[in-house]
């Protein structure tokens, strides 16, 4: 526990105060599940083994196109971001890895950064490249696109940046690079829609060929924004076609917010899995578009249905099924640590509810075309309050019964507000 940001004693006494009530609730739920033929301990073991990565950028306040309102004690560099992610991990025990973003998280010594993270109980997940904004001193601008730019020198610069990210990731112990490009258009006629995809595929193939052994390239699609008329990799269809053309190390990453409203995302999950191309997830929630709201805050049922497909996929794995799970949210109005704690809980709950579904009953109903019983098999899982399972799994791993309450009691943010330099009044999406 050395190097952990919060006091282990404080967590222990917090848990001790709640243990009797939690045991009572857990045992009661265990009896109820037992009558349904579900072993609560087996569900708890699976939940304990589940994890989701934190985005380094998620530890700071996000912003909108209009403004960003920072809070005192926000992290301003990767070292402070790691500290805050370690707080989330220490309390939730479900977020042991951080997904870094370059060039935002650049440092001089990545071996030292890896050690620094390990001392905090953290590892590194997929590295994220950034060719959607220009950096100071950069020779070529991405104003007309990056991997798909008509100018070969711009494309070469974007490819080189992705290869540099892979090299950094190798030093950090990562085994995947996530490639999202905002390239696209705002006007009909602005660009040759076929030609821009050709250029994307050519650039992506150069990145693909730089992947080390055992690495994956995760292609993240997004319907719109920053381009509003067309985006080059706009949907899962474009994504899987590109991944299939690139080769077996290329897989698709599903960001829950990157689809048209009301799209059946759980079906996309099943489709991608069917073809061995389900590479990873970015969890968030939305009401209108790519809102980047907290996971499960708007539509927890959809999150459950996605996990229902993931549990089906776990039971029937295809070659290479090892999805990289990550939270990808913009925390505009909350303390980011509290949002990540709440989101980890929501994601874990969706997984636990999916595990509780009586698969035999579900499959039998599907085979018999018994519509109502198939629906009810899912509904019974969704209705179950799995809070005691998550809490006990967390406590047994050293985490806290009530993560947000303990975080507030710890005074972490107030302390950091004294120690860390203030974030400037920045603007816009970060």
Contact residues: Mn ion, CB under 5 A: 255, 282, 328
What is the nearest approach in angstroms of Mn ion to the Cβ of residue 299?
A: 17
Q: Which of 84, 148, 118, 68 is nearest to 338 (CA)?
A: 84
Pull the structure tokens for residue 166: 């892979």
Q: Which is nearer to Mn ion, 14 or 282 (CB)?
A: 282
Q: Which is nearer to Mn ion, 30 or 63 (CB)?
A: 63
Q: Which is nearer to Mn ion, 7 or 64 (CB)?
A: 64
What is the nearest approach in angstroms of Mn ion to the Cβ of residue 181?
A: 12
Instruction: Tell me the C-alpha distance between 307 and 288, whole Å.
Output: 22
C-alpha distances out from residue 388 to 11, 21, 27, 145, 228, Å: 17, 10, 9, 49, 44
CB 274 within 8 A of CB 240: no
| 167 burial type by CB count under 10 A (0-12 exposed, 13-18 middle, 19+ buried) | middle
What is the nearest approach in angstroms of Mn ion to the Cβ of residue 309?
A: 19
What is the nearest approach in angstroms of Mn ion to the Cβ of residue 78?
A: 19
Q: Which is nearer to Mn ion, 4 or 133 (CB)?
A: 133
Q: Which is nearer to Mn ion, 22 or 298 (CB)?
A: 298
What is the nearest approach in angstroms of Mn ion to the Cβ of residue 297?
A: 17
Instruction: Tell me the C-alpha distance between 31 and 28, whole Å.
Output: 5
Residue 142: alpha-carbon gap to chain centroid: 26
DSSP state string for 133-171? S--TT-SS--TT-STT-SSHHHHHHHHHHHHHHHHHHHH
Q: Which is nearer to Mn ion, 328 or 335 (CB)?
A: 328
What is the nearest approach in angstroms of Mn ion to the Cβ of residue 383?
A: 30
Q: Which is nearer to Mn ion, 255 or 402 (CB)?
A: 255
C-alpha distances out from residue 142 to 182, 188, 393, Å: 10, 20, 46
Q: Which is nearer to Mn ion, 84 or 328 (CB)?
A: 328
| 13 burial type by CB count under 10 A (0-12 exposed, 13-18 middle, 19+ buried) | exposed
What is the nearest approach in angstroms of Mn ion to the Cβ of residue 331?
A: 14
Pull the structure tokens for residue 357: 């579904």
What is the nearest approach in angstroms of Mn ion to the Cβ of residue 215?
A: 19
Count other Cβ atoms within 10 Å, centred on residue 109: 10
């Amino acid at each position: 526990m050395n190097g952990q940001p919060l006091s282990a004693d404080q967590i222990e006494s917090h848990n001790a105060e709640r243990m009797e009530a939690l045991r009572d609730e857990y045992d009661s739920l265990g009896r109820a599940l037992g009558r349904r033929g579900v072993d609560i301990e087996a569900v708890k073991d699976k939940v304990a083994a589940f994890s989701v990565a934190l985005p380094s950028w998620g530890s700071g306040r996000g912003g909108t196109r209009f403004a960003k309102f920072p809070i005192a004690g926000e992290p301003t560099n990767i070292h402070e971001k790691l500290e805050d992610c370690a707080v989330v991990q220490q309390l939730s025990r479900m977020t042991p890895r951080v997904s870094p973003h370059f060039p935002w998280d650049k440092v001089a010594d990545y071996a030292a950064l890896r050690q620094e993270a390990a001392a905090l109980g953290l590892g590194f997940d997929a590295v994220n490249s950034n060719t959607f904004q220009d950096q100071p001193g950069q020779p070529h601008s991405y104003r007309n696109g990056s991997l798909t730019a008509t100018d070969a020198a711009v494309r070469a610069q974007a490819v080189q940046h992705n290869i540099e990210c892979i090299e950094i990731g190798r030093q950090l112990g990562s085994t995947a690079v996530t490639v999202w490009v905002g390239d696209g258009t705002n006007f009909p006629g602005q660009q040759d829609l076929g030609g821009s995809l050709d250029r994307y595929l050519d650039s992506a193939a150069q990145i693909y060929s730089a992947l080390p052994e055992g690495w994956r390239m995760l292609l993240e699609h997004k319907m719109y924004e920053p381009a509003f008329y067309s985006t080059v990799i706009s949907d899962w269809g474009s994504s899987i076609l590109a991944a299939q053309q690139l080769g077996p190390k290329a897989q698709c990453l599903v960001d829950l917010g990157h689809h048209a409203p009301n799209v059946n995302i759980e079906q996309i999950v099943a489709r991608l899995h069917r073809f061995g191309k389900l590479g990873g997830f970015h969890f968030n929630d939305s009401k209108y578009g790519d809102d980047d709201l907290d996971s499960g805050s708007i539509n927890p049922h959809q999150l459950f249905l996605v996990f229902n497909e993931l549990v089906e996929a776990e039971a029937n794995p295809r070659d290479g099924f090892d999805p990289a799970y990550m939270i990808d949210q913009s925390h505009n109005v909350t303390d980011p640590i509290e949002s990540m704690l709440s989101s980890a809980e929501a994601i874990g709950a969706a997984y636990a509810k999916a595990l509780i579904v009586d698969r035999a009953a579900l499959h039998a109903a599907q085979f018999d075309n018994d519509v109502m019983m198939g629906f009810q098999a899912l509904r019974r899982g969704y209705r179950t309050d799995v809070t005691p399972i998550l809490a006990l799994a967390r406590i047994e791993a050293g985490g806290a019964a009530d993560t947000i309450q303990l975080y507030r009691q710890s005074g972490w943010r107030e302390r950091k507000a004294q120690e860390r330099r203030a974030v400037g009044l920045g603007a816009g999406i970060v």
